[in-house]
């Protein structure tokens, strides 16, 4: 894209650094005597070359995340937007995914996450309620957050549901989807694996894990998962279509065309484009 303040190359180059930074912030919090899963409210700062970009980002965060946003200020050669997040239970993973979500949202609006922090008082630590009856409650909170594109809080709430009930495959599967969307595919893979371990016939989880493997260019393993999903559900058009893509990616055009044809037969009209492009 032209005239970007925060380029895709910068986003990619700094993604891992953002994860390391979150770990360092977490370590400082632990050293101060704060226990895991203590509730905290973090403030944060974004910068950009455009007041309008920050205004759009601030409106999104206020509307969808219920964050409190300050007035945008001009600071030397850039504009600055500060705000306060909603309270969440902090451990190393939760803080990392919260920060990664803010980092990714900043990129979407062409703004850079410039820092964040929270007051840590070891003498005053509050924790979320973790009663065994509350796993559905946190799952619903997670889905609400996910539907508002608040992937960080979705992952945090799914994680709380998992802490309460680690045997629910839906929580593992749903958290995996959110992790995939935050570009942490290895962590997502582990969650898909757990969901399938708990529910071996979980077709959607098998298909999503296969897509995760395809993205990692593990085409043979992806094809195995898609084939397993098809055995469990022979009418799954998406599994046929995606298996065709994986086969094509590894150079098996003939088999790919057969799978795309089957996907179309099962109602996947979108397969026609692949057929026209590669199966003439």
Q: Out of 3.40.50.300, 3.30.70.970, 3.40.630.10, 3.40.630.30, which CATH number does the structure's domain 8-117 have?
A: 3.30.70.970
- Are the C-beta atoms of 146 and 174 separated by less than 8 Å? yes
At residue 1, does pLDDT exceed 60? Answer: no
pLDDT band at 73 (very low <50, low <70, confident <90, very high): very high
At residue 34, does pLDDT exceed 70? Answer: yes
Digit-coded pLDDT (tens) for 36-70: 999 999 999 999 999 999 999 999 999 999 999 99
Q: What is the pTM of this model?
A: 0.95
Say what the pLDDT of residue 280 is: 79
Contacts for 261-268: CB closer than 8 Å, 24+ residues apart: 262/237, 263/237, 263/238, 266/235, 266/236, 266/237, 266/240, 267/237, 268/237, 268/238, 268/240, 268/241
Q: Please provide the CATH number assigned to the domain covering 200-280.
A: 1.25.40.10
The superfamily (CATH) of domain 130-194 is: Tetratricopeptide repeat domain (1.25.40.10)
Pairing of strands 38-40, 88-90: antiparallel
Average of per-residue pLDDT across 186-196: 98
- Are the C-beta atoms of 173 and 191 separated by less than 8 Å? yes
Digit-coded pLDDT (tens) for 111-134: 999 999 998 888 889 999 999 999
């Amino acid at each position: 894209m032209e005239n970007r303040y925060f380029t895709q190359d910068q986003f990619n180059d700094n993604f891992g650094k953002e994860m390391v930074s979150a770990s360092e912030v977490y370590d400082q919090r632990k050293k101060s005597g704060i226990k895991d899963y203590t509730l905290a409210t973090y403030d944060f700062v974004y910068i950009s070359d455009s007041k309008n970009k920050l205004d759009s980002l601030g409106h999104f965060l206020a509307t969808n995340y219920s964050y409190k946003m300050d007035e945008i200020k001009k600071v030397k050669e850039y504009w600055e937007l500060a705000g306060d997040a909603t309270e969440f239970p902090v451990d190393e993973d939760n803080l990392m995914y919260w920060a990664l979500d803010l980092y990714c949202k900043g990129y979407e609006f062409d703004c850079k996450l410039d820092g964040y922090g929270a007051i840590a008082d070891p003498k005053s630590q509050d924790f979320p309620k973790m009663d065994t009856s509350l796993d559905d409650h946190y799952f619903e909170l997670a889905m609400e957050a996910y539907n508002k594109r608040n992937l960080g809080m979705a992952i945090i709430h799914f994680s709380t549901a998992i802490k309460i009930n680690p045997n629910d495959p839906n929580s593992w599967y749903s958290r995996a989807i959110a992790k995939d969307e935050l570009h942490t595919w290895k962590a997502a893979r582990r969650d898909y694996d757990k969901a399938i371990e708990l529910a071996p016939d979980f077709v959607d989880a098998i298909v999503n894990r296969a897509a995760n493997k395809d993205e990692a260019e593990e085409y043979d393993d992806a094809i195995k998962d898609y084939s397993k999903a098809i055995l469990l559900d022979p009418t799954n058009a998406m599994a046929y279509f995606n298996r065709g893509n994986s086969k094509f990616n590894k150079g098996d055009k003939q088999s790919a065309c057969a799978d795309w044809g089957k996907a179309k037969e099962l109602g996947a009209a979108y397969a026609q484009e692949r057929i026209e492009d590669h199966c003439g």
